[in-house]
Structure 1
Amino acid sequence: MNKRKKDTRWLASVALMMAVVILLANTPLGMIQLPVVKATTVHIPVILGAVLLGPFAGAILGGTFGICSMISNTMAPTLLSFAFSPFMSMTGISGAIKAVWISVGCRIMIGLAAGWLWILLMKLKVKFTPALAVTGFVGAMVNTVSVMGSIYLLLAVQYAQVKSVGIDAVWGLVMATVVASGIPEAIVAAVLVAVLGKVLLKLVK
C-alpha cells in the first residue's frame, strides 16, 4: 500500500512538473530578457524535476520540453526549424531523424545529466545550495552544448546554408551561441534552481 501511494505521488508530481514545462514552453514566461540576449527558462523545471524526483522523471520532463519545441518549430517555423522539427527537414528522412534527436533526445539528456549529477553530489555530501547551483548550471549547459554540438556535427551544411556563410564559419557561429546565450542561461538556471530547489526540497521533506 505504501509503495502504491508513493508511486501515485510520484506520478502526480511528474504530471505537475510536466504542466509547468508546457506552460513555460508556450508562454512568454519561458524567456527572460537579459541585457544582450533572451534566456530560456523551460529547462529549469526539467532540472528541478530531476533533482526532486530522480533521473527518470528528469528524462520524461526533458522529453516533454523537446516535444513542445518540436511542435513550436512545426507550427511557427523559424530559420532554424529544420534542426528541431522532422517536418521541416531539408534532407528527407535522415534529416527528420536528426531533428528528432536534437529537439527531443538532447532535452532528455538534460534530465538524465541533472538527476545523476545531483545523486553524485549528494553522495559526496555537498551542501544543498552549492549542489543545486552546480546542477542548474550544468543542466542548462547540457541543453546548449548538446543542441548546438549536434547541429554542428549533424547539420553543419544546412546550418551554413540558412545562415548564408561558408561551412568553415559554422564552428565560430556555434561557439558564439554557446557563449552569448548558453552561459547567461546557465547562470540564470544556477540561481533559480538554487533558490527554488532549496524551498522545494524542504517541502518534499
Structure 2
Amino acid sequence: MGRSFTFIILFFLCQILAFGLMAHEGESSTLSTITRTDGIWFATEVERLARQSPNESITVAQQAAAFFKQHPQPRLEGRVLNATSYAYYFLGKYDLSMEHAKKAEYFAKKHNVDDVLARAYMLQGNVLQTISDYQNSISKYQQAVLIYSQLGNDEFLGYCYNNMANTYERAGNYSIALEYYEKYKDLATDDSGHASADLGIGD
C-alpha cells in the first residue's frame, strides 16, 4: 500500500512537471513571435525618451541595435538612429548627435526611406544652428523642407519653417525670420503651435 501511494505521488509530480515544461515551451514560442514586431516598440520608446530622459533613450537604442541585427526593419532602425541623435543633442553632446544624424542620413539613402532622411537633415540643421553655423544649418533645413513637402507632411514641414525662422533670427536676419514664422503659423494645427509662432514673431 505504501509503495502504491508513493508511486501515485511520483506519477502526479511527473505529470505536473511535464505540463510545466510544455507551458514554458509554449510561452517561449509566443514570446519569439512577439519579438518580431518589437521594432515598433523600440523606435517609439527611444523617440519618447529622447528629450525627457536622454540617457535612458540611448540605453534602449543600444538594445534596439542588437534587435535589428536579427530582425532588420529599415524604417524603424532609421527612426532609432535619428532619435539617438536627438537624445545626444539634449545631453549637449553635439558631435555624437551629428554623428548619429549622419548615420541616419546614410542609412535612409541606402534603404530609400524618405521620412527618415528628412528627419536626419532636420537634426543636422539643429546641431549646426546650435554651434552657430547658420548658413549650413539653413541648407540642411531646406533639404528637409523639400522632402517633407513632397511627402505632404505639413506637421514636420512646419517644424522646419520654425527652426529656419529661429536660425535666421539668431543670425540677425529678422525680416526673413518673420517670413518663416508666418509660414510656420500657417501650418500650425494646434494652439501650442500658434503660440510658438507668435512667440517667435514677438522676439
> Fold match, TM over 0.5?
no
Larger relative helix fraction: 2
TM-score, normalised to structure 2, is: 0.29
